[in-house]
Amino acid sequence: TIPNLNGIEATHKITSKYPAIKVVALSMHADTQIVTGSLSAAASGYLTKNCSVDERVKAVRLGAAN
């Protein structure tokens, strides 16, 4: 949890100020609205916390490659 800021807002602030930084969101939420919001905020990827370590590694590698 981020005080006074949700993950979508944080992603937007980070990617707006530092466009070279890639964000892969990791959340407990699988809600379509939250996933879409994160990707609209320029996240390079989105994973739920119940994904495997292999999926996390792959997402970070793909995010870095974009």
What pLDDT is attached to residue 3? 77
pLDDT the model gives residue 59: 93
Q: What is the pTM of this model?
A: 0.84
Please give the Cα distance from 28 to 31 (Å, whole number): 9
Residues of the chain with pLDDT under 50: none
- Say what the pLDDT of residue 1 is: 59
